[in-house]
Amino acid sequence: MAKRPPHSAGPFVKPALVPTARPATQPAPAGKPDPADLYAALDLGTNSCRMLIAQPKGSQFHVVDSFSKSVQLGAGLESSGKLSRNSMARTVGALKICQKKLRHHEVKRMRLVATEACRRASNSVEFINLVTRETGLELEIIKPEEEARLAVISCAPLVSVQTEQLLVVDIGGGSTELVWIDLSRVPKVDRPRAIMRLHTGFDPKDSEFPAAKVVDWISVPLGVATLRDQFHDVTDDGARFALMSWFFEENLAEFTPYIDADQVRAGFQIVGTSGTVTTVAASHLGLKRYDRNKVDGLRMTSDQIDHVIQSYLHMGPEGRRTDPRIGKDRHALIMSGAAILQALLRVWPTDRLSVADRGLREGLLYAQMSSDGVLEEGPY
């Protein structure tokens, strides 16, 4: 597991400018945007390659173009320790499409990051060099802490002003990041905004502003793809699910951010961001076609989540493969993600989870725009 750095209880630096509640899917204004206004964020994970191109608009941003594709970069990594040639070729093909979009929109300001698969692979430098030669794009392998921070700030608009203890969980393909934040010393109206101040780090310097305190954080090297690969030889569907959930819970042993569950229960909020969480939400809502506006910000009870998970188990592998709510790109990964989700709800003192259809890309955009001072302060 990734080690956690020491955390300071001190206040934060000058606050980042923050977005309002639903930033990522509003249509761009009519006409081609000025390239000088555009920002791009690319997230290359263990399973997927995703990119957003957006322009700041008031206290939020408009998406101008986007890209998402399952590339399975980490396929075979668990056994070989390397990125396979086929995986690298698939990924380079997807990145060439991203490069064309960036060139078409003349984007100059961008962050293109890679996460767990590239952190773990022994040939990641070879892969990064291949990407640069073939596409001209320069990928940056970010550390677990930055991945966790970016996921947290993307979820800031979903934080309730009543929340005193916040857990943000980002279930990725190769790893799962968890961040526990104490907001009890922050005035209620400033709590979502205080989350955005974490874009500068989990251990910031003194500031005149009220502070959100990062009590603990961890990056567990188990995501939907890597956890599935751990138990690929277990043939029984139900037994495999139970083993995955138990194994993930065992890997949370070092993450102990609170002492008395009863003290945090009333003001506790857990926000989950991942394809797993949004898929479970879509299944709960019975959506025949995915609708981000109905999913993002939805609060689900633990009983509702458990009902969906049990329905997945009842379907079996073939039923999940053909279920349109799960989708062809996720059916092989949904049960490992559900096992992680079940373990989290079993461990933490809450019976509700806030669903976030947002993550690393949104965090990258907010961090860039906040650093440049191009977003306005916005109320929550």
CB 243 within 8 A of CB 298: no
Q: Does residue 266 surpass a pLDDT of 80?
A: no
- List the CATH number of the domain containing 89: 3.30.420.40
Residue 106 region by backbone torsions, left for phi larger than 0, else alpha for psi between -120 and 50, else beta: left
User: 302-322 and 334-347 are packed helices; what angle lies between their axes, rounded to 10 degrees?
Assistant: 170
Please give the residue that has the higher pLDDT: either 80 or 210: 80
Q: Mean pLDDT in the chain?
A: 85
Contact 368, 109 (CB under 8 A): yes
131 and 254 in a single domain? The answer is no
Residues 135 and 162 in one domain: no
Give dist(CA 126, CA 129) in Å, integer.
5
Strands (E), the chain: 39-44, 48-57, 60-70, 109-114, 140-141, 165-171, 176-182, 213-220, 268-273, 299-301, 352-356
In a domain, 94, yes or no: yes
Answer whether residue 13 shows pLDDT above 50.
no
Specify whether the CB–CB gap between 148 and 219 falls below 8 A. yes
Do residues 25 and 220 touch, judged by C-beta distance below 8 A? no
Separation between Cα atoms, residue 209 and residue 185, nearest integer Å: 11
**Whether residue 83 is found in the same domain as residue 223:** no
pLDDT per residue over 174-218, tens digit each?
999 999 998 988 888 888 878 877 767 776 555 555 678 888 899
Range of the domain at 171: 152-360
**pLDDT above 90 for 28:** no
Contact 198/153 with Cβ under 8 angstroms? yes
The confidence band for 24, taking pLDDT boundaries of 50, 70 and 90, is very low
The average pLDDT across 122-127 equals 97
Residues 211-230: tens digit of each pLDDT: 788 888 999 999 999 999 99
Please report whether residue 39 resides in a domain: yes
Domain contains 327: yes
Give the Å distances, CA to CA, from 85 to 74, 129, 154, 226, 319.
Answer: 11, 14, 33, 19, 32
Give yes or no for residue 25 having a pLDDT over 60.
no
- 3-class DSSP state of 187: coil
Strand order in the sheet with 109-114: 60-70, 48-57, 39-44, 109-114, 140-141
Average pLDDT of the segment spanning 269-298: 93
Asked, for residue 2, whether it belongs to a domain, the answer is no
pLDDT of residue 203: 66
163 part of a folded domain: yes
**For the ranges 141-155, 221-235, 266-280, 363-377, which has the lowest average pLDDT?**
363-377
Angle between helices 302-322 and 237-250 (to 10 degrees): 130
pLDDT at 371: 83
Q: What is the structure's pLDDT at 338? A: 96
The count of structural domains within the chain is 2
Residues 183 and 314 grouped into a single domain: yes
In the prediction, which pLDDT does 157 show? 85
**pLDDT at res. 130:** 98
* CATH classification at residue 203: 3.30.420.150
Residues 175/222, Cβ–Cβ less than 8 Å: yes
